[in-house]
Amino acid sequence: MYKINCLNKISPVGLDLFTDHYEMADQFNEADAVLVRSSSVHDLELPPALEAIARAGAGVNNIPLDKCAEKGIVVFNTPGANANGVKEIVIASLIIASRDIFGGVNWVDSCKQDPEVAKLVEKNKSKFAGTEIKGKKLGVIGLGAVGVLVANALIKLGMEVYGFDPYISVDAAWNLSKFVKHAKSLEEIYRECDYITVHVPLTDTTKAMFNKETFALMKDGVKILNFSRDALVIDDDMIAALKSGKVGRYVTDFPNPKVCGVEGVITIPHLGASTSESEDNCAIMAVRELMEYLENGNIRNS
């Protein structure tokens, strides 16, 4: 009987797949395998019997990969399982970066008891006017499962899309519409694009990739979306770029006390993959990976 511990809430649609050879363990230190979403495993003592950790999500920066490799613990993730959820929130975010929907909604809420609200709206609504995304240039950095979906969806909404990925796979290239321009360098994206959305893992190469040097290469007023990881951005440089108008808007899925509330920042509380469909898909993929490994020794998405 394999003991499985869940460090976070994992969709029952996935957990129900476990057969009679598995039981849920309340205690982490008793586990043969662990399912985790966003909790950090870095400071936990790894259980002696632990054989595998499955991350119900794409990023694995909450898992101590070196320690796991040393101990022979296999780490899985669920690439692509939440990609559609992230794609949809990116589309919404491009629009909220361009239209002051929140400003308008909060203002109208503040005067909702006023019988003259309709007249007040006519007087005030010009304060909340925005711009359209159609015809604007969008840079998609990272053409993995999410980046490809984002690039193809935004072309359909009339954007001119530039994609950049130094490691683009044959599959991703195949799935990319012929209408996406393949940028030759990040500099090309920075130079050309009105909007930049980033879909890369956090690595030594991508950490701090948005900093004062790279902001200097971008268009004035560029709008940046970050649904990857907070540490891609140097906070102080982002704040200075927002203050100077170099960056027009920063939409981030990572609550960060330093940046949250700064003018021009829209902080989303890590909701990119928080849809019932994405949570179900991640749970199903993670549970299947664990069972396949524990029962047959086969490794997928490690």
Return the DSSP state at 47: P
Nearer to ligand MLT, 59 or 130 (CB): 59
Nearer to ligand MLT, 55 or 246 (CB): 55
How many Cα atoms occupy the beta-carbon half-sphere of 151 within 13 Å?
Answer: 29
Whose CB is nearest to ligand MLT?
57
* Sole binder of ligand MLT in the list 270, 280, 292, 301 (CB under 6 A): 270
- Beta-strand relationship, 195-198 and 181-182: unpaired
By CB under 6 A, is residue 57 in contact with ligand MLT? yes
Using an 8 Å Cβ cutoff, are 150 and 176 in contact? no
Give the distance from CA 301 to its chain's centroid: 18
Give the distance from CA 10 to its chain's centroid: 18
* Sole binder of ligand MLT in the list 6, 251, 273, 286 (CB under 6 A): 273
Residue 164 CA to residue 144 CA, distance in Å, equals: 10
Using an 8 Å Cβ cutoff, are 62 and 231 in contact? no
**36 Cβ neighbours under 8 A, 6+ residues apart:** 6, 7, 8, 53, 54, 55, 56, 62, 63
Q: Which stretch binds ligand MLT (CB under 6 A): 14-22, 136-144, 177-185, 267-275?
A: 267-275
Q: Which stretch binds ligand MLT (CB under 6 A): 54-62, 186-194, 206-214, 230-238?
A: 54-62
By CB under 6 A, is residue 286 in contact with ligand MLT? no
Nearer to ligand MLT, 139 or 272 (CB): 272
The 52-55 sheet, strands edge to edge: 22-24, 2-6, 33-36, 52-55, 74-76
Return the DSSP state at 46: P
By CB under 6 A, is residue 104 in contact with ligand MLT? no
- In the complex, what is the shortest distance from the CB of residue 292 to ligand MLT, in angstroms, rounded to a whole number? 20
- Number of residues in contact with ligand MLT, rule: CB under 6 A? 9
By CB under 6 A, is residue 232 in contact with ligand MLT? no
Nearer to ligand MLT, 3 or 37 (CB): 37
Residue 242 CA to residue 221 CA, distance in Å, equals: 8
By CB under 6 A, is residue 199 in contact with ligand MLT? no
By CB under 6 A, is residue 58 in contact with ligand MLT? yes
By CB under 6 A, is residue 284 in contact with ligand MLT? no
- In the complex, what is the shortest distance from the CB of residue 108 to ligand MLT, in angstroms, rounded to a whole number? 31
By CB under 6 A, is residue 152 in contact with ligand MLT? no
By CB under 6 A, is residue 82 in contact with ligand MLT? yes
**199 Cβ neighbours under 8 A, 6+ residues apart:** 86, 140, 141, 142, 143, 144, 146, 147, 150, 227, 228
Q: Which stretch binds ligand MLT (CB under 6 A): 51-59, 149-157, 168-176, 203-211?
A: 51-59
- The residues of the shown chain that bind ligand MLT, judged by CB under 6 A, are 37-38, 57-59, 82, 270, 272-273
